[in-house]
């Protein structure tokens, strides 16, 4: 019997597998029970009502998906009244993803959602679509510090901070979030990208720019998970292109304590279940008693690396 439990701060998850925000909703409960997951993570909620971006909102590019959904949101009251009750019947803890356009409003929405039923807050300070030209808090350490400080003051709930890959120094941003009291980091989000239709000469997304996700970005997210896990002492939750058990193992080895599965769920809705089962089978095959023993177990010591090249 393999112990699949992992600890994220003071939370103990039944297993390290959960959905990535925005790629999951209560609708997936029509396919399988969320009781099998380590946690559930909501689509990002904003206080303001948002319609989202113009269509087309999605196109496939290589082995990945480019999207510019734009965080459509029906607001906090709708979430509390209509969405939250849908999750009550499941044992998996409910992680509520939030975003806001300013530091102050970030604090406001977290205070409104600090209610029974919310197991943790995931602060989406990294969505590339929400602000002008894809700029987000998590692009810089200073703006990350400011917003996490406000969030920490606003709630005693476990506070997860979701970072962006669209930054020059993700480890520095990770440290800034840790220094201001984040309980865990989610690394990372979609990569700012674009695609042009060569027949029509038009951008393939209505919003021109979008976020790239799926298997194509996995090595980048893995690298960032590794860098962040080396830099901080709080748990890192790996996210980016995870579609199989081996992908999840890779992120755990790189230092992730848990993983989020996103775009893969669109392609194969049962992916998360397969990974939960696959992790157990993997550990059995390797003679590993606890999945937590995989965390950071990459054999990277005594390797002759060029520090300047490998860790810019």
Partner 1 sequence: MLSPARAPSTAPQAEAAFDVADTQALVVSNTAVNSDYFHMVLEADGLAAQARAGQFFNIACPATGNDLPYLRRPMSVYRAAPAKGQVEFLYKVTGAGTRGLATVRAGDSVAILGPLGNGFTLDPNWKNIVVLGRGVGLATLAPLAELAAEQGVGVTAILSARSRALVMSVERFAKSGATVEVVTDEDGSSEPAAVEKLLERLIAQGKADAFFTCGSNRLMLLMKRVGEKHGIPGEVAMEQQMACGLGMCFCCVRSFATPDGDTEQRRVCLEGPVFALREALSW
Catalytic residue numbers read: 127
Question: Based on CB atoms, which residue is closest to partner 1, 63 or 155?
Answer: 63
- Tokens representing 223 are 């690298």
| Gap between the Cα atoms of 240 and 111, Å rounded | 29
Residue whose tokens read 């992908």: 247
| Gap between the Cα atoms of 269 and 106, Å rounded | 31
Using CB under 8 A, which of the segments 53-61, 154-162, 223-231, 246-254 binds partner 1?
53-61
| Gap between the Cα atoms of 161 and 248, Å rounded | 20
Does position 210 interact with partner 1 (CB under 8 A)? The reply is no
Question: Residues 6-35 vs partner 1: string with x where CB under 8 A?
Answer: ----------------xxxx-xxxxxxx--
Does position 58 interact with partner 1 (CB under 8 A)? The reply is yes
User: Contact with partner 1 (CB under 8 A): which of 267, 289, 310, 311?
Assistant: 267
Strand-strand pairing, 120-124 and 94-98: parallel
Shortest Å, Cβ 282 to partner 1 = 13
| Gap between the Cα atoms of 171 and 307, Å rounded | 15
| Gap between the Cα atoms of 134 and 41, Å rounded | 23
Question: Based on CB atoms, which residue is closest to partner 1, 126 or 263?
Answer: 263
CB count, 10 Å around CB of 206?
15
Does position 223 interact with partner 1 (CB under 8 A)? The reply is no
- Phi/psi of residue 96, nearest 5 degrees: -100, 120
Question: Based on CB atoms, which residue is closest to partner 1, 206 or 296?
Answer: 206
Does position 52 interact with partner 1 (CB under 8 A)? The reply is yes
Number of residues counted as binding partner 1 (CB under 8 A): 40
Q: List residues bridging with 239 in a β-sheet.
A: 260
Using CB under 8 A, which of the segments 66-74, 152-160, 189-197, 219-227 binds partner 1?
66-74
User: Contact with partner 1 (CB under 8 A): which of 69, 159, 177, 254?
Assistant: 69
Secondary structure (DSSP) of 169-212: -HHHHHHHHHHTT-SEEEE--PEEEE-B-TTT--BSSTTSEEEE
Secondary structure (DSSP) of 282-312: HHHHHT-SBGGGGTT----TT----HHHH--
Does position 119 interact with partner 1 (CB under 8 A)? The reply is no
Does position 72 interact with partner 1 (CB under 8 A)? The reply is yes
Does position 95 interact with partner 1 (CB under 8 A)? The reply is no
**DSSP secondary structure letter of residue 5:** -
Does position 312 interact with partner 1 (CB under 8 A)? The reply is no
The residues binding partner 1 (CB under 8 A) are: 22-25, 27-33, 36, 43, 51-52, 55-60, 62-65, 67, 69, 72, 214, 263, 265-270, 273-274, 276-277
């Amino acid at each position: 019997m393999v112990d699949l439990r992992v600890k994220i701060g003071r939370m103990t998850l039944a297993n390290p597998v959960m959905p990535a925000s925005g790629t999951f909703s209560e609708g997936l409960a029509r396919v399988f029970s969320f009781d099998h997951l380590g946690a559930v993570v909501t689509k990002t909620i904003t206080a303001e009502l948002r319609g989202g971006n113009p269509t087309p909102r999605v196109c496939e590019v290589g082995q990945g998906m480019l999207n510019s959904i734009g965080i459509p949101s029906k607001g906090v009251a709708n979430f509390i009244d209509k969405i939250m009750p849908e999750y009550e019947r499941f044992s998996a803890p409910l992680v509520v993803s939030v975003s806001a356009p300013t530091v102050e409003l970030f604090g406001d929405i977290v205070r409104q959602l600090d209610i029974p039923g919310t197991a943790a807050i995931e602060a989406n300070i990294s969505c590339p679509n929400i602000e002008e030209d894809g700029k987000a808090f998590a692009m810089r350490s200073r703006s990350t510090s400011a917003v996490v400080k406000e969030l920490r003051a606003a709630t005693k709930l476990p506070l997860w901070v979701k970072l962006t890959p669209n930054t020059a120094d993700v480890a520095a941003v990770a440290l800034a979030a840790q220094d201001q009291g984040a309980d865990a980091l989610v690394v990372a989000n979609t990569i700012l990208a674009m695609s042009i239709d060569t027949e029509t000469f038009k951008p393939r997304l209505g919003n021109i720019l979008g976020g790239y996700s799926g298997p194509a970005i996995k090595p980048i997210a893995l690298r960032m998970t590794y860098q962040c896990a080396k830099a901080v002492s709080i748990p890192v939750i790996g996210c980016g292109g995870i579609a199989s058990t081996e992908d999840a193992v890779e992120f755990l080895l790189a230092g992730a304590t848990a993983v989020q599965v996103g775009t893969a769920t669109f392609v194969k809705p049962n992916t998360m279940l397969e990974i939960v089962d696959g992790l157990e089978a993997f550990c059995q095959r390797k003679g590993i008693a606890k999945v937590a023993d995989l965390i950071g177990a990459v054999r990277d010591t005594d390797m002759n690396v060029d520090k300047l090249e490998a860790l810019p």
